[in-house]
Chain A
């Protein structure tokens, strides 16, 4: 088996536009404020299920936006209102990021789109079925959401969808980083999103992956806590505009942060169950650090994947300790899923937003509900309240079902 090889660090790319719809807000400053205040977006939801088996709490986006930009060019307004919630979330966040970057008004640029959505077809068939349609039975092939968004925005670069379960939007950012580094595109919109759906809730509940603490929803998501009993499903989308740093600086664009590197691996252990031995998760962290050209000593903050599952959180804590070595005693770690719930396909992108919030506020978002830290997760936890800190470089982990590991290194501008 080949051991990781060294190669020159990849040049960082600048983040010059953001768009988001999340359980904690619909713009960067609102989300940053909620994260630093330790505010939970988890609450009871209305969901009709005849078997009464579904958890009635989650972290929803309310309201789901109607995407004006998306509707005006590719879909009629009526059609946009009926487009799937997933498409509206992703379309609106992408349009916002594109406009915010200032590149939408610059003709001639080859702009690509990489959308991280883990189960687009399944979610689309489900939404159609629950609305009385028969697309899943019919089988007619339709263009994907990425293609429709790309067309509506008039993008001339490639528009693709990538999927790696909970690491999907992180993979999207990694692909965009490489396309920009190599000159395949001038700039690239990347990120991802997901929606809460009855089928997904039921499947994860039946798998015993969801928290069953339904007496107090806001306390249900408790990563690293001894009393954790599963994750809480969330939804939302976060999209970024990425471009070469030199290009961004030459046009004096506002730079929110830098994507410095990504590391990837697979557990190859089980289609569903998390792997208790985190050798490959450790390797993904090490590869991300190498890709960014930083050492563990340079890391100021770790935004953990930590969804609140008993096995997954402990395995990740071990991976962080192995990869960071002695620095693990010093580096603060938190899981923002304690507030946002688990955005599944959108989690990596949302947690990149949390890292940018840490840079912006020079403060670390906390893990709320961490009343009794598990000895199996011996980390420098940021518990309950935000912690002021000098934050220049952050590591963000995403470990998906099926064993997909994706870690990002982000830097302050």
Chain B
């Protein structure tokens, strides 16, 4: 069983939202064709989870609707949960254990983004978080390559997310300067052609190593969307040639 060195991408959507505008997204209407979220589902979700779930919904909608029940989720967040963690730690320091929210672990762990997509959209395939830091995208690609041939899973959502322009936070968990803080998520739907009715539109190369310097520097300088768009375009051009 040879693992693929490039992944067949059926759908690709991205969403970039200023940090200050994430609030309204929590209760926004579900797009047509996307599975509806449970009521108030995103109320306690981390900012990266909110934007990631909405990006996946957009992608499903753009495909005219997909049966997501047998899909798996690999989420590759970068430093998710920092805002809630800062607030919780400040409160703990003054008020002790009784102040700690029951949401802090499920909504701010590295698995939180993947769990939000899986639970929110009813996906019963495997669900896991990957990376957590600067090499998250490369780690996500390597994990997707590892699981691409999993029997019983119709396709995989690889969702990368970050808070670009990481702002310094106050003790209350408020961003000191939100001018450049943007929450960004990229959702890729990967479905091996032989196991699916979907035709791949792009072939995304898998990083050979997490020490792939290009991955790190490009995502830092360009942002997730631009970096993945570049990879997809480059791969398509190579395919056409």
Contact = CB atoms under 8 A, between A and B. Distances in A.
Interface centre among B70, B109, B112, B135 (most CB of A within 10 A): B109
A293 interface: no
A152 interface: no
Interface string B74-108: 00001111100110110011011111111011111
B111 A163 contact: yes
Dominant secondary structure at the A interface: mixed
Interface stretch (A18-26, A73-81, A263-271, A321-329): A263-271
A162 B118 contact: no
B231 to A, nearest CB: 17
Interface stretch (A121-129, A217-225, A303-311, A360-368): A121-129
B135 A403 contact: no
Interface stretch (B7-15, B163-171, B221-229): B163-171
Nearest to A6: B151
B155 to A, nearest CB: 10
A198 B97 contact: yes
A129 B119 contact: no
A108 interface: no
A51 interface: yes
A295 to B, nearest CB: 16
Given A178-B3, A178-B147, A2 B152 contact: yes
Contact of B108 (A3, A119, A182, A406): A119
Interface stretch (A59-67, A202-210, A350-358, A391-399): A202-210
Contacts, number: 265
Nearest to B212: A158
A157 to B, nearest CB: 7
Interface centre among B107, B124, B169 (most CB of A within 10 A): B124
A327 to B, nearest CB: 22
Interface residues on B, range: 35 or more
Given A141-B133, A144-B135, A205 B105 contact: no
A268 B97 CA distance: 29
Interface string A70-101: 00000000000000000000000000000000
Interface string A284-304: 000100110000000000000
Contacts of A272: 102, 106
A179 B3 contact: yes
A162 B128 contact: yes
Interface centre among B171, B210, B211 (most CB of A within 10 A): B210
Contacts of A150: 210
A204 B93 CA distance: 18
B100 A206 contact: yes
Contact of A120 (B102, B110, B143): B110
B32 interface: no
B184 interface: no
A266 B127 contact: yes
B134 interface: yes
B123 interface: yes
Interface in A1-29: 1-7, 10
Considering the complex of A and B, which 5 residue pairs feature the smallest CB-CB distances, nearest first? A51-B96, A202-B97, A182-B3, A402-B115, A163-B110
Interface of A: 1-7, 10, 49-54, 117-122, 125-126, 129, 136-144, 146-147, 150, 156-165, 168, 171, 174-175, 178-179, 181-184, 198-207, 264-272, 280, 283, 287, 290-291, 400-404, 406
Interface of B: 1-3, 67, 69-70, 72-73, 78-82, 85-86, 88-89, 92-93, 95-102, 104-112, 114-116, 118-119, 121-135, 138-139, 142-143, 145-147, 149-152, 154, 163, 166-171, 207-211
